[in-house]
Amino acid sequence: MIMKKFAYPIKARILASALSVAAIAVSAAESGKSIVSGELWPDDKGIHINAHGGGVLFHQGVYYWFGEHKVAGGAGNTAQVGVGVYSSRDLCQWKNEGIALGVDDDPKSDIAKGCILERPKVIHNAKTGKFIMWFHLELKGQGYGAARSGVAVADQVTGPYRFLGSFRPNAGVWPSNVSDGMKKPLAPEESDRLSKVAMPGNFVPEFARDWVFRRDFAGGQMARDMTLFVDDDGAAYHIYASEENSTLQISRLSDDYLKPAGKYIRVFPLAFNEAPAMFKCRGKYYLFSSGCTGWAPNAARLAVADSIWGPWQALGNPCSGPADRIGKTFDSQSTFVLPVEGKKDAFIFMADRWRPDNAIDGRYVWLPVRFGKDGRPFLEWMDRWDMDAFNNR
């Protein structure tokens, strides 16, 4: 192996690295004022932005982009470093602000190096002045079985964030939109039967019995792909793929944003949505999501509701364009919707083009959310665009 590594002549290596630096410098100059989805996106040091499954917080005139800091190769699918943060005033040029939350070298920690820490989102609590980060956490060595939520807090937006702990949300609380007849833990024989069912991440008849949230009543609901949403009145919500990925749940956070407040609903039971990303426009709540096909892209979905507590109405695939592109959300999966400050009804759909074989090379797809004549949001591919796309609409 070592021989192979050094078989590449040193001169060629220097030339190749000079060429790639030049290529990055050119694309940096070009992309300085526009968004170019799917390409390398250099930061202030010319290095591809490393903030996957991310979300953006606007605070005091500056945007902060938080995301998974991945490393090269397949190891990048586990957390070797933590959550990175970048800052920007124009959404095109980003400065690397370092690691906001680092993984822990202590193997006993819930966020031990090598755990799976995905889709971090940060919100600011105006009452406490704190910055609060939530993320999907899988304990080291347990694959995707733990399905927990991690919470961390900081006094400064860029951190350092202090890890507070992890849990499955809403333990001991029934969803508020199920019938009273369903509000009972599984009987021992139901429990026994469910424990023997393989959960492949897609439909199995046992799901139809709505058994999974009842199974998880005492220990808390499973929480994988997630986002956070803060409403106009300051109320914050945690939206996550639950019940073995079969059902989304929307859960109100406590006033300090550090824990569930004790009210949640099930959304689209058994529809297998993940990658939730919410925004609010003209009084309506919109929710992007995807189907469950792991790192491989599938068709996006959009839903709308007049109240965050529903009822939610599915609007289908929001993408417009050639069938092969829109069937896979332009080769990406949603992670967040970013409201653009100072522009009316201006939102950016943020998505990831995963590269699981070389995780650090994952790309970003950012597209302006457009609105049809009927007011319905849609997405269309754009090779290159800038914030002027939101003018004169």
In this complex, which beta carbon is closest to ligand GAL, that of residue 294 or of residue 311? 294
Rounded to the nearest whole angstrom, what is the least distance from the CB of residue 77 to ligand GAL in the complex? 7
Residues β-bridged to residue 366: 350
Query: How many Å apart are CA 83 and CA 98, to the nearest integer?
Result: 9
In this complex, which beta carbon is closest to ligand GAL, that of residue 120 or of residue 269? 120
In this complex, which beta carbon is closest to ligand GAL, that of residue 261 or of residue 302? 302
DSSP strand pairing (162-167 vs 52-59): unpaired
Local structure of 16: helix, strand or coil:
helix
Rounded to the nearest whole angstrom, what is the least distance from the CB of residue 227 to ligand GAL in the complex? 11
Rounded to the nearest whole angstrom, what is the least distance from the CB of residue 33 to ligand GAL in the complex? 30
Rounded to the nearest whole angstrom, what is the least distance from the CB of residue 229 to ligand GAL in the complex? 18
DSSP code at position 214: H
- Contacts with ligand GAL by CB under 6 A lie at 53, 118-119, 225, 274-275, 292, 294-295, 333
Rounded to the nearest whole angstrom, what is the least distance from the CB of residue 357 to ligand GAL in the complex? 13
In this complex, which beta carbon is closest to ligand GAL, that of residue 242 or of residue 333? 333
In this complex, which beta carbon is closest to ligand GAL, that of residue 275 or of residue 326? 275
In this complex, which beta carbon is closest to ligand GAL, that of residue 294 or of residue 316? 294
Could you tell me which of 365, 275, 271, 355 has the C-alpha nearest to residue 325?
A: 365
Sorted by sequence, the CB contacts under 8 Å of residue 144 that are 6+ apart come out as: 116, 138, 224
Closest residue by beta carbon to ligand GAL: 294
Rounded to the nearest whole angstrom, what is the least distance from the CB of residue 385 to ligand GAL in the complex? 25
In this complex, which beta carbon is closest to ligand GAL, that of residue 115 or of residue 346? 115
Query: How many Å apart are CA 163 and CA 41, to the nearest integer?
Result: 29
Q: In the sheet where 260-267 sits, what is the strand order? A: 226-230, 236-242, 247-253, 260-267
Query: How many Å apart are CA 251 and CA 262, to the nearest integer?
Result: 8
Rounded to the nearest whole angstrom, what is the least distance from the CB of residue 333 to ligand GAL in the complex? 6
Q: Strands, E, within 139-235: which ranges?
A: 148-154, 162-167, 226-230
Long-range pairs for 129-133 at CB < 8 Å and ≥24 separation? 129/155, 130/154, 130/155, 130/256, 130/257, 131/57, 131/59, 131/155, 131/156, 131/157, 131/159, 131/161, 132/256, 132/257, 132/258, 133/66, 133/83, 133/100, 133/101, 133/161
